[in-house]
Amino acid sequence: MDRDDSAYLDIPGVGDKETYSVAEKKLIMHRLNEERRIHQRVQEKLDRKIEAYTEEEKQQVLHLLNEQRLSIQKREEIKKKRIEKKEKYTFNHREFYKFTKMEREYYIEVKECDRLTSRPVILTLYYKTFEEFKKKDVLIKTELYSPKFFVSYNPIRVYSKQYSLEDEKKK
């Protein structure tokens, strides 16, 4: 499902426009509706587990399954890029990753990284002071296209900035 709309529609310059003519709108809506119906029929047949498929239906099912597989694979690759080969710190028998280029040295627990999705979640980040380890709740999410984390310091007024984790030091 990750494709460029202008390439899919095969209409020159449609992806670049902000306003469309009535004929272009009808064409776009017709094609989108056609695709929706195809996916709906394929999904219904997958749900009912019908045994007899035509060759075209088989291709549609394979195409749908391949799109789902590629989407999952892409998500896993980006997730792996986010946390692979990152420096781990241990405090009080817990492991943390450290964010770079933040206003303070904020740390996130390793196990919390698994909870992150494209939906914003309130998580606790930790930072060190002279005498103790303090907590700060932030709104954090990830995006499919980026290997960085999107952090908003204020969960009410959401303004996210991109941060990455500290890379492993070469020894």
Residue 50: pLDDT band with limits 50, 70, 90: low
Backbone phi and psi for residue 121, each to the nearest 5 degrees, phi listed first: -135, 145
Q: What is the mean pLDDT of the chain?
A: 82
What do you get for the CA distance between the two ends of the chain, in Å? 42
Edge to edge, the sheet with strand 121-128 lists 88-91, 94-98, 106-109, 121-128, 133-142, 149-152, 161-163
Q: Answer for the pair 94, 109: CB distance below 8 angstroms, yes or no.
A: yes
pLDDT exceeds 50 at position 6: no
Give the tens place of pLDDT for each residue, 119-150: 888 988 999 888 888 898 999 988 888 888 88
pLDDT exceeds 80 at position 32: yes
Report residue 62 as tokens: 């394979």
Q: Long-range contact list for 154-159, CB < 8 A, 24+ apart?
A: 155/122, 158/120
Give the helix/strand (H/E) hosting 137: strand 133-142
The pTM of this model reads 0.57
Sketch the domain layout of the chain as residue ranges.
5-82, 85-163
Q: Answer for the pair 108, 99: CB distance below 8 angstroms, yes or no.
A: yes
